[in-house]
Structure 1
């Protein structure tokens, strides 16, 4: 027995417009994902700079009185301070990396002879493990590696140049948007909450929404500020270790500051940054003194355990109120979804989700 279903034209159009609209939205989001990521990074950086903006604004208020113009000046100064610090780090670390690499290449034969006893020592070691011509095996491997690298560089030269230009453009956009969000963000949010508060004469949704957003913003700024403090301690420890090793193994003590800046900068990357920074410093010290590089690696591994289990939890405290297993799960999910960027923002996002879960009863009551 068949039934006939009748519907009017308006219902039929709505039925088809809804899925078509969803498909169109998904398509537009996919096409604009790069722009959305740039905007998201800019908002994240603007929130991360909030504690510094507040400190600068507090300085102006204390010495020059309260003035609305101070907020704008504080935002610009905080932004310039961070940009100058990052530029200084690059200006200090970059030449050191280049110089140490060039020095290593220049003195490689001498270092190789003193450390391993030359090719004769390598061949003796090879015979002890059952390889008669270890020198030839290493030479063939290095030759094949260099040929592959040269071929890859030749094939990808044009795409690499365009890729670098694309990265530079994205960095410039992020820097500009971050400054604009610092300047216009508070006013935009205030206007938004005022509009919601006047709707139907009920300001409860606006109050709840403002409180939730402020808590989420504080999660981001608190996480970044505490992470920066631990990163500075990590950098100071690396500098101290490098300085002591330079006195023992007679290489330049001026390497202490750049090595500390390297580990400090990479520590800001959650989970893997500490390993990357420590590995890079170890390699650079190996160029100056292989023994010093090995000793640094051992000491830094021991220090990293102390830092991760005592120093970092003590400073971070219960600021985010997240269990370690939740933090680890958030980092893994973020890393596999968005790569390195996802690993960086995973922990603050998890903290924001916690805020939403805690405030859900209030949000539900305000909606009702």
Structure 2
């Protein structure tokens, strides 16, 4: 038995209006994805820099000056990272150039100990050792010649990155200045239209979310600073023992500090980079540093980090790893940096779900 369902014109128009509206909204979000990411990162940094701003207020015993405090906090971070790039960048370029220039000679020394010509004769390849050395020299020279071309072709990309950085800095300062006022006005409006219990619940949830971000970033920076200091001291000691220039101790420490801010994978990347840069000067120094850093990471991950971070976010390691993977594939390096605090915020919402559901039902 068939039935005929009649749909009036208004319902038909509303249905397609909703479909078109959602499609248009999705298109706008897709086109404005880069701008939305900048806004989100700025809001995240504004929350993360709150402890630093409060510390500056405590140092300055005079009346609070939120505008000056916000600007100083952002400038401290910007100048800090600019200093790291200015110190580490030239050192890495110099060491890589030295490595590429000296690699054929070092590899030829190693190859000479294995008598590759005899192996080549066995497989019917005459002068195998000489052919390998020529190929290595050609590869090294080609790579060195391409470095300048890569630098020139990257000018446009660097300009875009600098523009995004400036926008992020300005928005972060504005969020730090106007954010608290906007939040207070929002809760004042909510209080006039809903009951006080609902206002308290939402206020508690948002406070927990901001606390999660601020505490995570503070703990991560503190441990990264310790990691960089230990790296610099250990490299300096190796410079006294092996033929390694003492000037690379601080840059390698800054590399460890910077990459430790990347959860889980950062220390591994820093260890590889530092080991390679040490290997350019002394293979034994590189091996000694690699062994020491592995031992130190076990101490840091099992003793130091839990004490500094306390119970942290209360997230299982598998959830942390999944969060980092999703963040990395969705937003790249930025996604890795913000994945764990976002996962912590989601945990707060899940913990407060019962209270939120009750408020929504009321």
Q: Conserved in 2, the CA contact under 8 Å of 1:51 and 1:225?
A: yes
Q: Is it true that 1:96 corresponds to 2:91 in the alignment? A: yes
- 1:208-357 residue pairs with structure 2 within 5 A? 208-357=201-350
Q: Quote how far apart the aligned CAs of 1:212 are.
A: 0.6
**3-state secondary structure, aligned to 2:352:** helix
Aligned to 2:39: 39
Q: Is it true that 1:123 corresponds to 2:116 in the alignment? A: no
- 1:15-30 residue pairs with structure 2 within 5 A? 15-30=15-30
Deviates more, 1:334-343 or 1:133-142: 133-142
**3-state secondary structure, aligned to 2:332:** helix
Distance of aligned partners of 1:120 and 1:175 in 2 relative to their CA distance in 1, 3 Å threshold: closer
Q: Conserved in 1, the CA contact under 8 Å of 2:243 and 2:281?
A: no
Q: Conserved in 2, the CA contact under 8 Å of 1:122 and 1:135?
A: no
**3-state secondary structure, aligned to 1:125:** coil
In 2, Cα distance between the equivalents of 1:231 and 1:307? Answer: 11
Distance of aligned partners of 1:135 and 1:267 in 2 relative to their CA distance in 1, 3 Å threshold: farther
Deviates more, 1:97-106 or 1:203-212: 97-106
Deviates more, 1:95-104 or 1:202-211: 95-104
- 1:102-181 residue pairs with structure 2 within 5 A? 102-104=97-99, 108=102, 119=108, 122-127=111-116, 130-131=119-120, 133-140=128-135, 143=138, 160-181=154-175
Q: Quote how far apart the aligned CAs of 1:263 are.
A: 0.5
Q: Quote how far apart the aligned CAs of 1:210 are.
A: 1.5
Deviates more, 1:306-315 or 1:125-134: 125-134
**3-state secondary structure, aligned to 2:328:** helix
Q: Quote how far apart the aligned CAs of 1:340 are.
A: 2.1
**3-state secondary structure, aligned to 2:154:** helix
**1:198-222: per-residue Cα shift (whole Å, max 9, x none)?**
115x233222111111101110111
Q: Conserved in 2, the CA contact under 8 Å of 1:335 and 1:342?
A: yes
Deviates more, 1:5-14 or 1:350-359: 5-14
List alignment gaps of at least 5 residues for structure 1. none
**3-state secondary structure, aligned to 2:315:** coil
Aligned to 1:4: 4
Aligned to 2:125: none
Aligned to 2:200: 207
Q: Conserved in 2, the CA contact under 8 Å of 1:123 and 1:135?
A: no
Deviates more, 1:312-321 or 1:219-228: 312-321
Q: Quote how far apart the aligned CAs of 1:37 are.
A: 0.8
**1:305-341: per-residue Cα shift (whole Å, max 9, x none)?**
2222222122222131222222122222222332222
| Aligned residue pairs, count | 355
In 1, Cα distance between the equivalents of 2:85 and 2:147? Answer: 27
List alignment gaps of at least 5 residues for structure 2. 122-127
Question: Could you state the TM-score of these two structures normalised by the residue count of structure 1?
Answer: 0.87
Q: Conserved in 1, the CA contact under 8 Å of 2:100 and 2:144?
A: no
Q: Is it true that 1:78 corresponds to 2:73 in the alignment? A: yes
**1:107-163: per-residue Cα shift (whole Å, max 9, x none)?**
x38xx76x66xx365234153993452331243255368658978986x78763322
In 2, Cα distance between the equivalents of 1:314 and 1:130? Answer: 55
Distance of aligned partners of 1:270 and 1:120 in 2 relative to their CA distance in 1, 3 Å threshold: closer
Q: Conserved in 2, the CA contact under 8 Å of 1:89 and 1:261?
A: yes
